[in-house]
């Protein structure tokens, strides 16, 4: 999927919601556990109930790997189901990979070719030659960790280096890499004011934003500081949506939670358009 | 496996060699491709031919994930084969994972419980709460990236922060984490003099050292600066050993290459013991 196609979907759906498919067998409705592949059945129901309210799904690969071969099969069935039934959806493998050149190429093939995801998340610590192999794929997107939403983000990401915080240095340096137009960035929503600084460095890039909802970030503030002329945001919510209920009505409840967020996004987009016309 | 058991194995085998099982179907002997599971058959032959000359095997998970379900099955069969036949071997899942708390716990379960590896490699960028979930497992080891051996290591790892390079800050900070005694570190062999500095910060920790051989590091120099009183090093070689030949004799050739390295290690350990007695 191209960036333009993603932007078009955001405009059509009036939504920049990404739903995190972090499936934990201890949290899904118990009646699903009797089925042959509870993880896939859970995902399928959630996807069918929410696909018109979001533009992206993001399975975190850890939750699938934790169940070994069966988990990997469930991941494969999930991505195939999305690609077959809802090809307009932007898919993210939240894998946070990063390794040296030839190994990164293997990871890129695994996620972009074997599983056919539109994008994958990567870690920046190993630098240029750990990320560029991902960037070499046309119309595939590499979403690099910049500033995360967890407590440990302040251990290293915000340390000052060359007079600026490390995460800003990561953003700046990454712009010099080959095919850097294929980069997006993970930016946590815990402190909305960071977005203003980040937009000075990467005004045009898409930002994937976890931490709205369960982790405490505020949608309105993130949009105020983080939106650009093509929206440029994917706001992720996982637990707040997929675990809204663990009863028989779980998919309907997930839809209701998604609709609440999409309604807010719709209003934000309308206000934003009006303010542009007003100016 | 405990650290003491690993140290004992090093003394018994007179080896601190780790063999990287980075299996690429385009590089293994063509005659194996006719078998049902070429990756596992390749690993099995390499392991049977070299297990007495090394103390550790390190499959890089990227190479297995690249082949989807089949790759994951081959990884599972490989670790089961090692654990069943050579339980004295220290196993490393080279996965370079790192995610927020509950997700890291899922990864830890995947590698420590489901696959039963002794250790897993992790990335430090997300800080304390991305690594501590791994450290909570008894007699399991978390090998964190500190200074890697690739070109991109100089993008961020060697940037100065708080007056010291980032990788030194990573080492220092990680020592304050809960159960930090379960930490080991990845330190590339490209510049041996770095080891002297690193040993000032983590004198007692095991260091996993890639980059001796194919990536250009020198075994003698790394040992000179990096060894501690219990050796404290695992030197990894992948391609130089496993792809020594792609003929019918590939396992025998892998053994010969392993023996060359083990012979050097044996001599280094003898010299080191004599110098201790001499002092």
Q: How many residues does chain B have?
A: 279
Q: Check if the beta carbon of residue B204 is closer than 8 Å to that of residue B228.
A: yes
CA–CA–CA angle B223, A126, B150 (5° rounding): 50
CATH class of A3-278: alpha beta
**Residue B103 touches chain A, beta carbons under 8 Å:** yes
Predicted pLDDT at A111: 95
Chain A residues lying within 8 Å of B154, measured CB to CB = 127
pLDDT digits (tens, 9 = 90+) for B75-130: 999 999 999 999 999 999 999 998 988 889 989 998 999 899 999 999 999 999 99
**Residue B110 touches chain A, beta carbons under 8 Å:** yes
Alpha-carbon span B162 to A163, nearest angstrom = 11
For testing the chain A interface, which of B25, B58, B61, B65 should be mutated: the one with the most A CBs within 10 Å?
Answer: B65
Residue B278 CA: distances (Å) to CA of A10, A77, B224, B273: 73, 64, 17, 9
Flag whether pLDDT at B279 surpasses 70.
no
Flag whether pLDDT at B215 surpasses 80.
no
Predicted pLDDT at B212: 81
What are the catalytic residues of A?
A: 96
Alpha-carbon span A19 to A52, nearest angstrom = 12
In the β-sheet with A160-161, what is the strand arrangement from edge to edge? A164-165, A160-161, B160-161, B164-165
Lowest model confidence (mean pLDDT) among A19-23, A90-94, B169-173, B268-272: B268-272
pLDDT digits (tens, 9 = 90+) for B10-44: 999 999 999 999 999 999 999 999 999 999 999 99
Predicted pLDDT at A217: 63
Least CB–CB distance from A125: residue in B68, B125, B151: B125
Predicted pLDDT at A214: 56
Segment 174-203 of chain A within 8 Å of chain B by CB: none
Q: Check if the beta carbon of residue B254 is closer than 8 Å to that of residue B50.
A: yes
Q: Check if the beta carbon of residue A178 is closer than 8 Å to that of residue B151.
A: no
Segment 37-96 of chain B within 8 Å of chain A by CB: 60, 62-63, 65-69, 72-73, 76, 96
CB count within 10 Å of CB B196 equals 11
* The pTM of the whole model exceeds 0.80: yes
3-state secondary structure of A244: coil
Tell me whether residue B14 is one of the annotated catalytic residues: no
Percent of chain B with pLDDT over 70: 97
Flag whether pLDDT at B214 surpasses 80.
no
Q: Which residues contact residue A157 at a Cβ distance below 8 angstroms, ignoring those fewer than 6 apart?
A: A146, A147, A148, A165, A166, A167, A170, B125, B126, B127
Please count the CA atoms within 13 angstroms of the CA of B30 that sit on its side-chain side: 0
**Residue A101 touches chain B, beta carbons under 8 Å:** yes
Predicted pLDDT at A63: 93
**Residue B277 touches chain A, beta carbons under 8 Å:** no
| pLDDT (mean) for B263-279 | 85
Q: Which residues contact residue B87 at a Cβ distance below 8 angstroms, ignoring those fewer than 6 apart?
A: none
> Which residues of chain A carry a pLDDT beneath 50?
none
């Amino acid at each position: 999927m191209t960036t333009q196609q993603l932007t078009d979907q955001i405009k059509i759906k009036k939504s920049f919601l990404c739903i995190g498919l972090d499936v934990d067998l201890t949290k899904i409705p118990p009646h699903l556990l009797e089925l042959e592949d509870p993880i896939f059945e859970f995902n399928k129901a959630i996807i069918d109930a929410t696909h018109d309210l979001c533009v992206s799904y993001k399975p975190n690969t850890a939750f699938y790997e934790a169940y070994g071969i069966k988990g990997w099969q469930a991941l494969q069935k999930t991505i195939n189901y999305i690609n077959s039934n809802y090809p307009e959806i932007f898919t993210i493998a939240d894998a946070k990979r990063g390794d040296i050149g030839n190994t990164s190429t293997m990871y890129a093939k695994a996620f972009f070719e074997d599983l056919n995801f539109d994008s994958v998340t990567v870690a920046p610590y190993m630098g240029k030659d750990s990320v560029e192999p991902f960037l070499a794929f046309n119309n595939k997107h590499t979403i690099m960790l910049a500033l995360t939403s967890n407590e440990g983000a302040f251990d290293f990401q915000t340390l000052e280096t060359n007079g600026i915080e490390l995460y800003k240095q990561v953003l700046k340096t990454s712009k010099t890499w080959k095919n850097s137009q294929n980069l997006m960035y993970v930016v946590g929503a815990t402190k909305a004011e960071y977005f203003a600084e980040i937009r000075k460095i990467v005004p045009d890039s898409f930002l994937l934003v976890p931490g709205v909802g369960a982790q405490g970030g505020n949608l309105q503030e993130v949009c105020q500081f983080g939106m650009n002329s093509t929206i440029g945001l994917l706001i992720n919510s996982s637990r707040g949506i997929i675990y809204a209920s663990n009863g028989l009505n779980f998919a309907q409840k997930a839809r209701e939670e998604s609709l609440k967020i999409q309604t807010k996004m719709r209003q934000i987009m309308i206000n934003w358009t009006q303010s542009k016309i007003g100016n």
